[in-house]
Structure 1
Amino acid sequence: MVRRRSGILNKFSVSEACIDLPDITLFNHDKIKTFDLVITTVGFEDRSLAFVQESCSEFQCEYALVGKYKTNKVENEINEASITNFFMSHSIHTSEVCADSPLAISKKINEILDNISQEKKIIRCFFDISSASNRFILSVLQTLTSSNLELGLSIFYAEPTDYFPQSSEYHSNPEACISEALASSSKEPLIETGVSAVNENELYPGHFPEVGKPFLISIPSYRMTRMGRCIQQIDEQLLSSSNKDSCFWIFGEPKKEILKWRTMYQKSIVENYLKKFTTEDSDSYQPPLTEENSKRCCTLNYKEILAALIELADSNLGKRITIVPMGSKLQAVGVALALYARSECSVLHASPGAFNPNRYSNGIGDKWLLEFESISNVKRIVSKIGELELTPI
């Protein structure tokens, strides 16, 4: 005789998953001493040196991997010597990788992990994302989450002291700041200029029906040139009135009250950009951004954007979903975890011609640490989202 189990079927929700995932905490350098693999990048921002300046004298690692960008090579050299010299002094093996190549990043990390795994069953990794691009963050995390090895991961993030435009500049002339964000010229004051390339991330090819309707999840920055090029590559008619349900916008909301204006600034940039795709004379005119096609996610809370992306993917099944991630660095962590759980989504990146270091950021602000004791456990948690569970009664 077969005994049947009785109970209540419950779906494991994204909110339950977020409870099980760790929160970020303020960085304490005394906790950071020994790692098997450290991954970082060389950038021109002051915060590129935050970890080097904050790490304790006892810090040691076996392998250090330094990502180097093709963009702004001359400006990046200002910090390069300090970063490379630090790791040459505190690691046994130091190597470099092209930070703009997902395949090269993945190959190099896997080679290092294979070497370490010859002697260790549990590998401790440390990832400084302070000057890492969304492309680099997603590529590193895809590689680590794809590994069958037992990995632990600590993620370090340093905020800048100031962002551009500064609050006084924006509030004195918001129209000028919005116009700059929409401009496509190469004049010096712009935060970034031009678009050198638009590429799919080979590590996130997605899998969806060719006949599916395109659906874009846009996580914009504070300039529209690169996002505009990505939209054109997906579908030049994507934002037309006949495709009003084909795009969802996720805006970054800073945690600090003093920076909340940046969300309104970002939203105003996108609203002005979308005006050229709408006709206000139409009887059916609707504002370009509504609660149905946009939301805000905290720039320091990776769980918020993780939840948003899972819900968007699940509510747009059968569509060709593309994510264009240009948000905050900690948001990129949430994007990577969402993509692990919903691999049907693809990722598109756009590289600028150049950044303007004088209009990017200044100083080193608060420093944060996110600790995943076991990546295997993180994978288990996010993979369960949406699954049915039987609760005995």
Structure 2
Amino acid sequence: MSSIHEIELVEILNKFPEAVKFNEALLPAMGSESIFIAILGFEDRCLSIPEELAKHGNHNAQKAFYFTYTTNSADNTQNKDKLLNALSEISHEYQSVVCDTQDFPQNFRDIIKACQNAESRLKVIMDISTCSSMPLLLAIKILFEFDVDLHILYSEAKIYHPTYEEWQAEKNKHVKEEGFGIAKGVSRVFPSPEHPGDRKDNLPEKVFVFPTFKPERIIAILHDIDPSIALVPDKHAIWFVGKPHLKENEWRIDAIKEINKITEDMQQVLVSTFDYKDTIRGLNAQWDKWKSDYHITIAPLGSKLQAIGIALFWQMHQELSMVFAVPEQYNAKQYSEKCIERWYIPLGSTREIKHLLDCVGNIELREI
């Protein structure tokens, strides 16, 4: 006997991999069908995974790429020699890719196209540890235009600034001083050219906000979408407040609310900064609630793994828009220190992932 069944998101997410502690044995050896992507940043963890892979010396990737930023170039350069030494052990050929300019999406698309071959699926191993949300979301979107075998690596920082002691000592500066904290100013705000969304119905705006420890960029994004939202964000913004992975960092929940002036009467959702599936679940619940009455834009300034969840959710609902904001400069000494753990997410075939996500809401007959 058969019954009609609607496929639910939870069923699909159960088929997606968890983040597991990285072990060299878990990652397939990188050969001529593989590329490795690293990020040249100023944080200690920029080197953690590349150096670990280089230490084992059993990789011969077709090519290695390292993303570079136009901001903080002097700070980032301090890790360059060590990163290139590690990359030389992973592949005989490596090159830089500027990832925060307007031509990055097309440049990256051309790179992936050139690395494809007809005989096997390209394996893309990407270390996202120091990748900011804008290039990460753009890169994932482009990778989904191809059928690649996608493997995500992530180094979790041991110390995130501000620490609890720094927050308690200088709370007023973090809340009120624009030049204080993890980033300074806003250099530009722009709608993502790769995530334009669909505004055919001329609906009012609802913004899904992933805030960070500095409010300037979120305010700039809200103002860019609609100046009235920036002035009165309580009705048209939903705040996706990050719940830290480690219990000792949970004080940051209240801190980020205070910095961004998120009051109890404002719409908010608590989502993990670590579990990318939790981000998808949180987005989906709010999407189901508001999709008929609003055009929805995401302001994606949360964690790296939240960005992975956002990227996958957008594959389900491409009528969503995204708007990015780039700071004038990051405060290199007030970001993160060291690495406490390395993590691995073997996502697999992007074509298969997209197929699974497209199944949500489909009707099928099941035997009972």
Flag the structure with larger Rg: 1
What pairs with 1:36-55 in structure 2 (closer than 5 Å)? Answer: 36-55=34-53
Residue 311 of structure 2 corresponds to which residue in structure 1? 336
Q: How many residues align?
A: 362
What is the deviation of 1:259? 1.1
Compute the displacement of 1:17 (Å). Answer: 1.5
The residue aligned with 2:226 is 235
1: CA distance, partners of 2:230 / 2:12: 33
For residue 19 of structure 2, the aligned residue among 10, 24, 36 is: 24
Pair 1:157–1:274, CA change in 2 (3 A): closer
1:31-87 CA-to-partner distances (Å, cap 9, x unmatched) read 343151111211000000111221122222111121110110110000112212332
Cα RMSD, aligned residues only = 2.0
Contact 1:130–1:156 (CA under 8 A) maintained in structure 2: yes
Partner of 1:87: 87
**How far apart are residue 341 of structure 1 and its match?**
0.5
Unmatched runs of 5 consecutive residues or more in structure 1 = 1-5, 276-286
- Cα–Cα, structure 1 residues 339 and 102, in superposed 2: closer, same or farther, change >3 Å? farther
Higher mean alpha-carbon deviation, 323-332 vs 85-94, is at 85-94
Deviation readout 1:130-185 (Å, 9 max, x if unpaired): 010101111111011121x3x21111100111011112233x44xx425414422x
Contact 1:165/1:177 (8 A) holds in 2: no
Deviation, structure 1 residue 324: 0.6
Q: Flag structure 2 segments of 5+ consecutive residues without an equivalent.
A: none
In the superposition, relative to structure 1, how do residues 268 and 8 fare at CA in structure 2: closer, same or farther (>3 Å)?
farther
Deviation at 1:245, TM superposition (A): 3.2
Q: What SS class does the counterpart of residue 278 from structure 2 fall into?
A: helix
Aligned to 1:115: 114
With normalisation by structure 2, the TM-score equals: 0.92
Partner of 1:282: none
2:298–2:321 Cα contact (<8 Å) kept: yes
SS of the equivalent of 2:61 reads strand
CA distance in 2, matches of 1:169, 1:233: 32
Contact 1:182–1:223 (8 Å) recurs in 2: no
1:239–1:247 contact (8 Å) kept in structure 2? no
After superposition, give the CA deviation of every residue in 1:219-268 in whole Å (9 maximum; x if it has no partner).
Answer: 00111011111111111111555x74311110111121111111121122
Contact 1:254 1:262 in 2 (8 A): yes
Q: Percent identity?
A: 24
Q: Which residue of 1 aligns with 2:75?
A: 75
Q: Structure 1: which amino acid aligns with 2:30?
A: T
Name the SS of the counterpart of 1:121 in structure 2.
coil
Cα distance, 1:390 vs. partner? 2.6
Equivalents in 1 of 2:150, 2:304: separation in Å? Answer: 16
How many angstroms apart in 1 are the aligned matches of 2:331 and 2:113?
Answer: 39
1:319-368 residue CA offsets vs partner (Å, 9 max, x unmatched): 22110111110111000000010101111111111111111111112110
Superposition map of 1:258-297 within 5 A: 258-270=248-260, 273=261, 287-289=264-266, 293-297=267-271
